Every structure is written in C-alpha cells, then in structure tokens.
C-alpha cells in the first residue's frame, strides 16, 4: 500500500516516525502528537515547514 511517512526526528526531535495513507493523514497525526506531547495547540509554521521537508512517500 502506498502511503506517506515523516521522521519526527527532523521535525520536533522525537524518535518516532508518523505513517499514514495520505499526506493529510500524516499531517493530522503530527498535529495530534504536537498537541499531546509538546502541548502545541497550533503547529507553528516552522514545524509545518519541517514536516513538509520530512514527508516521504512509502512503497
Ligand atoms: Zn515530537
């Protein structure tokens, strides 16, 4: 199944990779992680840009 993943080590320094079936799913899972783990009610633009760079298609 094709999907997307993002290594959070490049995004917020966490040793965890977010995987999802779409880029939107990875983005929304990262938002939940940012809120629960980093207490970010909104994802800062800097983190969103790093997430965009870290996002990779998976085969
Ligand atoms: Zn994190």
How many angstroms separate the alpha carbon of residue 9 from the centre of ligand 1?
8
Helix axes 45-54, 23-38, angle to 10 degrees: 130
Per-residue pLDDT of 27-45, as tens digits, reads: 999 999 999 999 999 999 9
CA–centroid distance, residue 3 to ligand 1 (Å): 21
What per-residue confidence (pLDDT) applies to 1? 66
| Alpha carbon of 8 to ligand 1 centroid (Å) | 6
Domain tally for the chain? Answer: 1
pLDDT over threshold 80, residue 21: yes
The DSSP secondary structure of the chain, one letter per residue, reads: --EEEEEGGGTTS-S-EEEESSHHHHHHHHHHHHHHHH--SS--HHHHHHHHHHEEEE-
Average pLDDT over the chain, rounded to an integer: 95
pLDDT of residue 59: 78
Contacts 24+ apart (CB under 8 A), 14-21: 19/58
**Separation of CA 39 and ligand 1 centre (Å):** 10
Task: Specify whether the CB–CB gap between 16 and 30 falls below 8 A.
Answer: no
Q: In terms of residue numbers, what domain contains 24?
A: 3-58
59 Cα–ligand 1 center, Å: 24
């Amino acid at each position: 199944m094709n999907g997307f993943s993002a290594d959070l080590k490049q995004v917020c320094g966490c040793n965890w990779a977010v995987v999802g079936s779409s880029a939107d799913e990875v983005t929304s899972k990262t938002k939940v992680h940012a809120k629960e783990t980093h207490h970010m009610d909104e994802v800062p633009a800097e983190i969103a840009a790093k997430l965009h760079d870290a996002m990779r298609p998976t085969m």
